[in-house]
Amino acid sequence: MALDSAGDTSLLLSREDVPPVHEDNAAGSSPFLLTSDHYGRLLPRVLGDLGLPASELTRHIAWDIGIAGVAEALSKHLDAHLIAQRYSRLVIDCNRPPHAASSIPPISEAITIPGNEGLAREAAEARRAQIFDPYHRRIGEIIDQRRHADMPTVLVSLHSFTPLYAGIARPWHIGTLYHRDTNLPPLLLKALRAEADLVVGDNEPYAVSDETDYTIPVHGEMRGLMNTGIEIRQDLISDSAGEKSWADRLARIFAGIEPMLRAERLI
Ligand SMILES: [Zn+2]
């Protein structure tokens, strides 16, 4: 068997590769369920380095810099279940519909990804079957389990964004991303805007859509859960002190929102 072939569908993840799904605090009692689609930047061994230099594999095109530390600390502070995906979004983007061209990007921000060029359908399907599907199946299972246990679920999808995009500096420190939920995003925006030192993006630098997103439309909106995406600027969480301070801040903010949702009988 040609283990060095990126087109080998039978073996994408081998015994030496870790499973795609990472979970923290699975017994957490918080109504907030945290997800992190771009948590990790691992590559399955069989894919080598996707033909990229190491410098590209640590850049934001490979993952959401800083969000893993924020997500783990926030999970701890809120006593919230975190479900995260460990493989690089260059292997398959877990926040894109699998049929989208950007699901397995042949080019990301003008960088060609040689290991994704001319990918056979079977190879793309293996990435979906072994990374994308297990992650989203797990989120679905957890939402089901919580429902059966009469435990409320408010989905919070955690991301980070690059401070410069196409040469333009982005002014926001943090942004909320939402589409169909009209309950949680206004409360979150109000709480964030009450922080005097923050420039807050309202559906900036991105907005959620069915074409460009997966986690919020599928697990939040289609299942009728309150939800929001959060985007934190990467230069603010590029070290452990930054990760800690943003996790502390978000924990305080979500802890303040929870009783408001209860008072409105939304959870
Ligand atoms: Zn992201």
Instruction: Give 9-53 pLDDT, tens digit per residue.
Output: 467 999 999 999 999 999 999 999 999 999 999 999 999 999 999
Q: State the pLDDT at residue 126.
A: 96
CA distance to 58, 62, 205, 233, 236, per residue, from 242 (Å)? 18, 20, 20, 11, 6
Distance 61 CA to ligand 1 centre (A): 10
Residue 257 confidence (pLDDT) above 50: yes
Local structure of 168: helix, strand or coil: strand
Residues 6 or more apart whose CB falls under 8 angstroms from that of 263 comprise none
pLDDT tens across 56-107, in order? 999 999 999 999 999 999 999 999 999 999 999 999 999 999 999 999 999 9
What's the token pair of residue 215?
A: 């986690």
Identify which of 247, 108, 231, 228 has the alpha carbon closest to the alpha carbon of residue 171: 231
Decide: 205 and 161 in contact? Cβ < 8 Å: yes
Distance 175 CA to ligand 1 centre (A): 12
Residue 2 confidence (pLDDT) above 50: no
| CA dist., res. 35 & res. 207, Å (int) | 17
Q: State the pLDDT at residue 166.
A: 84
Distance 204 CA to ligand 1 centre (A): 13
Residue 147 confidence (pLDDT) above 50: yes
Residue 5 confidence (pLDDT) above 90: no
Distance 37 CA to ligand 1 centre (A): 6
Distance 230 CA to ligand 1 centre (A): 9
Q: State the pLDDT at residue 237.
A: 98
Decide: 137 and 129 in contact? Cβ < 8 Å: no
Confidence of residue 110 (pLDDT cuts 50, 70, 90): confident
Residue 266 confidence (pLDDT) above 90: yes
Distance 63 CA to ligand 1 centre (A): 7
Identify which of 65, 56, 57, 41 has the alpha carbon closest to the alpha carbon of residue 242: 65
Express the helix, strand and coil content of the chain in percent, nearest 5 each: 35, 15, 45
Task: Report which of residues 5 and 23 the model is more confident about.
Answer: 23
Q: State the pLDDT at residue 4.
A: 47
Distance 70 CA to ligand 1 centre (A): 13
Under DSSP, the state recorded for 108 is: E
Q: State the pLDDT at residue 10.
A: 62
What's the token pair of residue 109?
A: 């921000």
Confidence of residue 109 (pLDDT cuts 50, 70, 90): confident
pTM over 0.85: yes
Residues 6 or more apart whose CB falls under 8 angstroms from that of 108 comprise 61, 90
Residue 6 confidence (pLDDT) above 50: no
Confidence of residue 7 (pLDDT cuts 50, 70, 90): very low
pLDDT tens across 181-209, in order? 999 999 999 999 999 999 999 999 999 99
Q: State the pLDDT at residue 14.
A: 92
| CA dist., res. 199 & res. 174, Å (int) | 7
Distance 228 CA to ligand 1 centre (A): 13
Q: State the pLDDT at residue 171.
A: 97
Distance 64 CA to ligand 1 centre (A): 5
Percent of the chain's residues with pLDDT above 70 = 96
Q: State the pLDDT at residue 1.
A: 39
Distance 205 CA to ligand 1 centre (A): 11
Distance 12 CA to ligand 1 centre (A): 23
Under DSSP, the state recorded for 107 is: E
